[in-house]
Structure 1
Amino acid sequence: MLSGTHTHSGPAGYLQYLLFDITSLGFVHETLDAMVEGIFQSIKRAHESTVPGRVYVNSGELLEASINRSPTGYLNNPLEERLRYQHDTDKTMTLLRLEAQDGTPLGMVNWFAVHPTSMNNTNTLISGDNKGYASQLFEEAMNPAGSLPGQTNCGDVSPNTKGPRCIDTGLPCELASSTCDGRVQNCIASGPGKDMVESTKIIGTMQFDKAWDLYHNTASTVLSGPVQYVRQTIDMSNFTVYTENGTF
């Protein structure tokens, strides 16, 4: 099983796109080679260790590990749509428990919406951020079972639960523009810890604790049947958006 996630504290220089090569001052072949080799070896080891088994699914709500980083933008959604949800971000964690037919734990995959941005842009080291820390905790506790904390609809979902504040005054940023006295540079979100390392551990631990509970206590529904998928392609260059007064 492959599942996508990301970190904002990863190495650069591994793609031909300029954005991914700016901070590394160009393409870095060693970075690309290490990533390709790591992915290849992971798939190879997984394939070579496959055994008959079962997959259980479970889900639950994880609160206080995320906030909406654009609450004023969210309020632009139609009222009837917002009334369908209790929160302005998705708080549901979904987990798959993987085990061999004899009950031996093989690992877990879970999906929870929160950006790996507990480590802020002053960090100069490679980090798996809160998702990586959650994975590390689970694998240390369940060795040798594997762990994959995946990502879902994390668009405006921030782990910085103290919210954005002006670093020069300590006051909340202007919500609509995310600025301080007209400047975005001074508006920085943080929390819940005293610094970014502690915040990474707190948010990562919260995800680990929830995954641990779902894995051990209530993951009892067995998945069976065929694998289904949904795919949608939208040509945004030819997409018309209508406003309330009919203009676009």
Structure 2
Amino acid sequence: MTTALITGSTSGIGAAFARRLAADGHDLVLVARDTDRLREQATELHDRHGIEAEVLTADLSQDKGIEAVAARLGDRKSPVDLLVNNAGFGNRGRFLDVSMADELRMVKVHVEAVLRLTSAAAESMRERGRGGIVNVASVAAFVPRGTYGASKAWVVQFTQGAARDLTGTGVRLMALAPGFVRTEFHERAGMRTDSIPGWMWLDADKLVATALADLARGKTLSIPDPRYKTLMGLAKVAPRGLVGGISARTRKYGPR
């Protein structure tokens, strides 16, 4: 039986990955900051699907938390076959309205943690000649959106570059770039969502199903919905100033 480790597993996209992977028979390592929620989630998934669910409490904005998860990924006696780097958050406000401490915390979670955990997982997977890594980014990676968009753009570029470098090793890497998903993400960041058109919202469970299918097909980037694929295609050919203006007007909503 294979094992998947999911960061930010207790809500949103992370929880959807946990539900789907448990239903498919994978054992899980569930990572988040809230121990009580982790234990509740682990018990529910174990009782419903008969899988083993390990709890690992870790704050990925802290070195200690990153090191704990990296150590688990490097455990050769109990290997992890799939890593889902999902932990992340949004800050409400424009550049200079958000504190530098919060900006740096975002870089720590979205960039440094992803780099260090991907490296730890990939090294172990390469030794075994198999494994998969999904790094959750956002369609915000493709439009000007301050620190959030920049950090997610880094996730996309890093993941695709690492995937190329590991070609032929049996290790697959993929960046997942969702749009607006009905999760706790926006509420936690204090973002309004009432003006977002209904057609722009994605279902987390369907998103995960598409993402896992794309990973199995060997894709290095998954934009898991035709609507967002079309929007991102238009963004590539639209004038940069127009895209930036639209992005600025919708900044308070923040996709994902």
TM-score by length of 1: 0.28
Larger Rg belongs to: 1
Return the structure number with greater helix share. Answer: 2
Higher relative contact order (CA closer than 8 Å, sequence separation 6+): 1
TM-score by length of 2: 0.27
